[in-house]
Structure 1
Amino acid sequence: MSDPTRRNRLDEEASPYLRQHADNPVHWQPWDDDAFEAAAERDVPVFLSVGYSACHWCHVMAEESFADDDVAETVNEHFVPVKVDREERPDVDDVYMTVAQLVRGGGGWPLSVFLTPDRRPFWVGTYVPKEATRNQPGFEQLLEDVHEAWETDRESIEERADQWAAAARGELEAVPDEAGDPPGAEVLSEAAADAVRSADRANGGFGRQPKFPQPGRVRLLLRAARELGGDDYREVAADALDAMANGGLYDHLGGGFHRYCTDSDWTVPHFEKMLYDQAELSTAYLAGYQATGEERYADVVESTLAFTDRELGHDAGGFFSTLDARSDGVEGKFYVWTPGEVREVLGDDDLAALACDRWGITDAGNFEGATVLTADASLTALADEYGLSEDEAAARVENAREALFAARSSRTRPARDEKIIGSWNGLMVSAFARAGLAFDDEYAARAADALGFVREHLWSEDENRLARRWKDGDVKGDGYLEDYAFLARGALDTYAATGDHDHLAFALDLARALCEVFYDADVEALYAAPASDDLLARPQDLTDQSTPSPAGVAVDVLQRLDAFAPDEAFGDIVDAVLSTHAETIENSPLQHVSLVDAAVTRANGLLETTVAADRVPDEWRALLTESYRPDLLLTRRPRGDGELDAWLDDLGVAETPAIWADRGARDGADATAYVCRRACSPPLHETAEVDSWLADFAVTP
């Protein structure tokens, strides 16, 4: 059989990131058995490069090294090069990024790793420049050094590979010898206190540069403000929300958020736009609006969802993955402005001057001779400066925004990665569904459309299994814990927003499969990936990073679904996982925000609100969503028991769960509510009654 590694095989892949490298002279291979078997037969190492389509430094390394014929000749001769899209294979990325963090104290993309043919790492790094710098060797020299060591010092390489492989397994797979008690509600105060200590009180957000959005921490602080009291929690959350929305992280013309900012004051971003950031930041700003009543946060939610639907929405319902940082090969070119460009578009010198003042656009600029837009001047300041009322200033700013946005649309657009990933769609479904409950049914309908797309294209009814991604009709990869968990939560949120129990049925199907594929009863832990022979270690995703912890979301959604299907023992798995990781959560709660959130809800109990009605009255919807209630479980059921029996058949639930039993409509009312937290209200018909019982069962200081 001919050696498949003697040619570049990425033209056979659907991933846009992999296809970007299909024309490289490097003989890239996908992550498969053929590549590793060829490495073993040739007795050469594997060079693994992990990245994603919107990654700036991935582009740079590709242009410097992977497109270079001389570099490619060395790679092809002495290595089997393997290219991985981290968005398709988060498990591979997780394993070797863990090694990078253990060995180097940090990581990033592109992730560059040299492996033995049996997948053990012995060198790990990130971006490597082609030519040597003061701090590191060049890529060409690195290739020669690794090849020489492989030929002359194999014993040392094998020892290091054994040590690093063992360290990765220990870090990713280990569970405590003895479980503890599940964390109690007090872990919320510990996590919130840590969040306040990590806050940048001068610039907003958390930590120093680079500045990443931390939407989970924001929601955690808003929960702490509600349940524990204390001004610091709400202030730090609001500071973060304001800083992100006012700075360059936010796209002031088109809506939506860039990936992160390179500086401490949120001015200059890395310009890629990721679907998961739009989802998580939308839910954080919705929580901010519910907690504070500030309309500016609702405006951010609506503009971000509008951007997502417009720029990342598939016509048939799902959501694409990313927009690149670059256009015409230049990072940020699509988004930045000069005063001359503003004057050319707007014509009116006064309006152009006002627009430049509003968004801080100057001749000097703040990014390579141009300006990343920020909310540099408030509407109040503009009104004073230009002798206008605030309403007049706001109207002129909006006129300028619309004109600049229209003009920007004629620029070369950043490339779009059109993979549709299950987990990221689940996050976005939740964002739209929650906005639908709080604002407008159209958002909930959009959530249902996206959920329907994923269900049609990624879910196998026959096998009760979920695939990872869809691209132009091509479906690839087994789903991961994050895919099942995030989509189950999205389906549950869509059921709450629409009342359609078919979404609840999908959530339950996903939860059943999740437990079967990812829960290990022997160690009482949830793994992030299905059992597989092609992984060095089987990871557990406990920490919150750019997306929530899959284990944390899984625990939260299982405890909510336990209310509908108590015979499935979802609650037992919740208790087991929280017990297994109790010490980890309690020792570093801020790194495990999603698990903290789930543990607090478990300790306090869910705020169950069951509504028996054809439609939830508008006054009740407003009441349920006017405050931030992260422990709320809104359930919908038919007014009578006859239709409920049909629902139970559809859900695969044998007996009426307590959350619905004897909770039909009463006294001839169009709608009846029941509010419970381990004890229940009587049947409620009036808005004031629902309000009173929600207040009685609220967790407050």
Structure 2
Amino acid sequence: MSSDSGPTDRNRLDEAESPYLRQHADNPVNWQPWDEQALETAREHDAPIFLSIGYSACHWCHVMEDESFSDPETATLLNEHFVPIKVDREERPDLDAIYMSICQQVTGRGGWPLSAWLTPDGEPFYVGTYFPPEERRGMPAFGQLLEDIAGSWSDSEQREEMYNRARQWTDAIESDVGDVGQPGDVPDDEALQAAVDAAIRAADREHGGWGNGPKFPQPGRLHYLMREVARSDRDDVRSVVTETLDAMADGGLFDHVGGGFHRYCTDREWVVPHFEKMLYDNATLPRAYLAGYQLTGDERYAEVARETFAFVERELTHEDGGFFSTLDAQSVPPAGRREDADAEPEEGAYFVWIPDEVRAAVDSETAADLLCDRFGITESGNFEGKTVLTVDASIEALSESSGLEASDVERTLASAREQVFEAREERPRPARDEKVLAGWNGLMITAIAEGAIVLDDVDPDPAADALAFVREHLWDESEQRLARRYKDGDVAIDGYLEDYAFLARGALTLFEATGEVEHLAFALDLAHAIEREFWDADDGTLYFTPTSGESLVARPQELTDQSTPSSTGVAVQALLSLSAFVPHDRFETIAAGVLETHANKIEANPMQHASLVVAADRYLRGDLELTLVADEVPAEWRTTLAETYLPDRLLAWRPPGDGDLDAWLDVLGLDDVPPIWADRTERDGEATVYACRQFTCSPPQHHLRNALDWATEQA
């Protein structure tokens, strides 16, 4: 039977803009995007859907494509018996959340590619992740599985069983991602303490981080641990924070040649990473290092943030502003080699080294030896005969072994790193996913804006350029709606809660960094859109999908921190801060409602709800509002803000003149001066600061340090 005799007659992914979908456009599988045409085809032909969800930098997605989706016989099975749909999880996190939920519930694990078989109405009846072409390690062969499912579907009794299972599983999805549970009181201080104590108990005190297997960065946990350090100065909490920051910065998670972080490490010791670089990791991790720098004064942490920002600006920035999504783990083969099957790039080849390659790149034998000793580059290697760079020797040890002064060792290593970087630039480069996603850009805008507050050599302009790019291409001013994805002029997909929440926080942080009121105005627009599109007053929750969005088998929420922060937690934090600038209490009411609705879940597992734990803590304690009234910002203020760890800080810049303030109110669409600015004027003709928390304010001060000392006394 020919492959065009099934419900779909061709592969439609050549019409897609997603780089991940386009990677599959040449498959013999008649892939469809997730759209009404594909779903209607399934209903019309009464055919089951095979749903495959992945992303462009996913290693096992590439493997399954090579083994199965490029195989004509497997393609024939898919084309004849199923409507095969391919989804980019980075574009459609709602679909990913729904079907990953049931995969984890049924199989006890998740991952990508996610493989799900659905009824024509989208209800799942079989799920898994990667399936090999031949039976292996308890996993069924993919082709045989397709034949078995197709045979069961054609049998009326077995199909009825599949429908019954689909209904049960759909109920389970709704209970997992859509259930609001029984509300309680807003979690109190004990929730933060429980989260801290759980994180300390679970910490890997030998190697840093959490867990005894593969190591994932957990910046959300670090943030609530650092809040506890600032309050109690507990030695055990401080140690877990610094051990984890040091492990990630010294190990293979960090790119010691080009800066930036890989996705995660495959081992307990943080040595060998999965080599893809995601924008969200390179946004969330620098914020943790900036906070760690403020808390400890360790200059290494500041340098990690600087090098990460430099990597993002160099390799993940659109020429018109905005940030791309991903660098793949694999490189693009050189021109002329694509037809050579044996020339497929090796995983991580761009990033690993052998000593001879270092010696060829570095013009000094001494410098090459120092670099190899510093980063553990050996003949045997630590990854398939080559070396992933990790910090293997201290500067002091290298100084002693080489007879050089420590400053000379550092200077020599810096020069050698530059030469190795230049040599690496000649290698085939990792493929880049050039989607610009609104939410991930919001994370990066937040990080760079925070970097500009903390480090005097970080420029906020890339963040401002990215925000301008998003506003130009993804924000509909007249409809007050946000689209999620831009790619080569094509805009698609309604924004999710994470897009609005992450961007709102980014715009607010950029206002804090620059004092430019247009950024605050955009943050408020996004907050009002969150209220309109995602808040359900009856259920007392913020849903992940907009009210006006597509109807799916469940309407998910995102309460836990995963590879990105909980969009619900970030939204609550943003709404709490932005409530200071509006004449109503609706933002605070929404924040309280969400925290009450999900109190039991937060208290039952606080470590998994890091962003919501921080949100509850901010709600109970209130922001530290610093109203800064100045035309010219005193250098002392900049220095104090840079040096001082203030996790609940809200910088409310205010122009000293009433005329300028009136102009700001016009931009914000406000008729009255919000309390955070009211009667807080410049005194004695000098820059003036007011510190307030929980409706109690300091006297006007000319020195920011004095205002912070007052706030410390009130805490």
TM-score category of the 2 structures, normalised to the smaller one: over 0.9
Alignment of 1:90-105 (within 5 A): 90-105=93-108
> What is the TM-score when the length of structure 2 is the normalising length?
0.96
Deviations 1:588-634 (A, max 9, x none): 11110101001101111111100111132221122123122111111
Return the match for 1:124 from 119, 122, 127: 127
Match for residue 185 of structure 1?
189
Alignment of 1:197-236 (within 5 A): 197-236=201-240
When structure 1 is superposed on structure 2, of 489-498 and 356-365 the one drifting more is 356-365
Residues 615, 105 of structure 1: CA spacing in aligned structure 2 closer, same or farther, 3 A cutoff? farther
Q: Contact between 1:185 and 1:604, CA under 8 Å: does it hold in 2?
A: no
- Rounded to whole Å, the distance in 1 between the matches of 2:633 and 2:602 is 37
Match for residue 361 of structure 1?
377
Match for residue 351 of structure 1?
367
Return the match for 1:174 from 176, 179, 193: 179
- 1:371 CA drift (Å): 0.6
Match for residue 571 of structure 2?
554
Q: Secondary structure at the match of 1:108?
A: coil
Alignment of 1:294-443 (within 5 A): 294-327=298-331, 328=333, 329-440=345-456, 442-443=458-459
- Rounded to whole Å, the distance in 1 between the matches of 2:524 and 2:353 is 49
Deviations 1:178-227 (A, max 9, x none): x2111112321111111111110011011121110001111111111112
- Rounded to whole Å, the distance in 2 between the matches of 1:688 and 1:346 is 47
- Rounded to whole Å, the distance in 2 between the matches of 1:624 and 1:659 is 19
- Rounded to whole Å, the distance in 2 between the matches of 1:570 and 1:115 is 39
Instruction: Indicate whether 1:85 and 2:88 are aligned.
Output: yes
- Rounded to whole Å, the distance in 1 between the matches of 2:31 and 2:456 is 48
Return the match for 1:140 from 143, 146, 155: 143
- 1:696 CA drift (Å): 2.2
- 1:122 CA drift (Å): 0.7
Deviations 1:217-263 (A, max 9, x none): 11111111112331111110110000001000000000000000000
Aligned-partner residue type, residue 42 of structure 2: A
- Rounded to whole Å, the distance in 1 between the matches of 2:317 and 2:391 is 27
Residues 687, 154 of structure 1: CA spacing in aligned structure 2 closer, same or farther, 3 A cutoff? closer
Alignment of 1:471-510 (within 5 A): 471-510=487-526
- Rounded to whole Å, the distance in 1 between the matches of 2:645 and 2:569 is 20
Return the match for 2:68 from 65, 82, 87: 65
- Rounded to whole Å, the distance in 1 between the matches of 2:703 and 2:451 is 24
- 1:349 CA drift (Å): 2.7
Match for residue 684 of structure 1?
701
Q: Contact between 2:691 and 2:708, CA under 8 Å: does it hold in 1?
A: no
- 1:440 CA drift (Å): 2.8
Match for residue 543 of structure 1?
560
Aligned-partner residue type, residue 503 of structure 1: H
Deviations 1:365-404 (A, max 9, x none): 1111111111111111111111111111111111110110
> What is the TM-score when the length of structure 1 is the normalising length?
0.98
Q: Contact between 2:262 and 2:275, CA under 8 Å: does it hold in 1?
A: yes
Residues 70, 611 of structure 1: CA spacing in aligned structure 2 closer, same or farther, 3 A cutoff? same
- Rounded to whole Å, the distance in 2 between the matches of 1:151 and 1:233 is 59
- Rounded to whole Å, the distance in 2 between the matches of 1:317 and 1:591 is 34
Q: Contact between 1:334 and 1:413, CA under 8 Å: does it hold in 2?
A: yes
Q: Secondary structure at the match of 1:666?
A: coil
Aligned-partner residue type, residue 296 of structure 1: R
- Rounded to whole Å, the distance in 2 between the matches of 1:234 and 1:285 is 14
- 1:348 CA drift (Å): 3.0
Q: Contact between 1:109 and 1:127, CA under 8 Å: does it hold in 2?
A: yes
Q: Contact between 1:209 and 1:261, CA under 8 Å: does it hold in 2?
A: no
Alignment of 1:535-684 (within 5 A): 535-567=552-584, 569-669=586-686, 671-678=687-694, 679-684=696-701
Instruction: Indicate whether 1:33 and 2:33 are aligned.
Output: no
- Rounded to whole Å, the distance in 2 between the matches of 1:355 and 1:227 is 40
Deviations 1:274-298 (A, max 9, x none): 0000000010000100110000000
Q: Secondary structure at the match of 1:141?
A: helix
Aligned-partner residue type, residue 104 of structure 1: T
Aligned-partner residue type, residue 241 of structure 2: A
- Rounded to whole Å, the distance in 2 between the matches of 1:441 and 1:458 is 30
Deviations 1:136-174 (A, max 9, x none): 111111111111111221121111111101100111111
Q: Contact between 2:7 and 2:47, CA under 8 Å: does it hold in 1?
A: no
- Rounded to whole Å, the distance in 2 between the matches of 1:476 and 1:642 is 41
- Rounded to whole Å, the distance in 1 between the matches of 2:49 and 2:585 is 44
**Structure 1 unmatched ranges of 5 or more:** none
Count of matched residue positions in the alignment of Structure 1 and Structure 2:
695
Q: Secondary structure at the match of 2:280?
A: helix
- Rounded to whole Å, the distance in 2 between the matches of 1:347 and 1:533 is 59
Q: Contact between 2:359 and 2:365, CA under 8 Å: does it hold in 1?
A: yes
Instruction: Indicate whether 1:14 and 2:17 are aligned.
Output: yes
Aligned-CA RMSD value: 1.3
Aligned-partner residue type, residue 580 of structure 1: T
- Rounded to whole Å, the distance in 1 between the matches of 2:705 and 2:95 is 53
Q: Contact between 1:4 and 1:35, CA under 8 Å: does it hold in 2?
A: no
Q: Secondary structure at the match of 2:584?
A: helix
- Rounded to whole Å, the distance in 2 between the matches of 1:638 and 1:464 is 28
Deviations 1:20-74 (A, max 9, x none): 0000000000001111211122222110000000111100100111111111111
Deviations 1:548-573 (A, max 9, x none): 00000000000000000031511111
- Rounded to whole Å, the distance in 2 between the matches of 1:107 and 1:549 is 18
Residues 533, 255 of structure 1: CA spacing in aligned structure 2 closer, same or farther, 3 A cutoff? closer
- Rounded to whole Å, the distance in 2 between the matches of 1:577 and 1:513 is 16
Deviations 1:62-109 (A, max 9, x none): 011111111111110111100000010000000000111111112001
- Rounded to whole Å, the distance in 2 between the matches of 1:487 and 1:439 is 22
- Rounded to whole Å, the distance in 2 between the matches of 1:534 and 1:261 is 37
Aligned-partner residue type, residue 656 of structure 1: V
When structure 1 is superposed on structure 2, of 41-50 and 245-254 the one drifting more is 41-50
**Structure 2 unmatched ranges of 5 or more:** 334-344
Q: Secondary structure at the match of 1:353?
A: helix
When structure 1 is superposed on structure 2, of 530-539 and 386-395 the one drifting more is 530-539
Residues 503, 668 of structure 1: CA spacing in aligned structure 2 closer, same or farther, 3 A cutoff? same
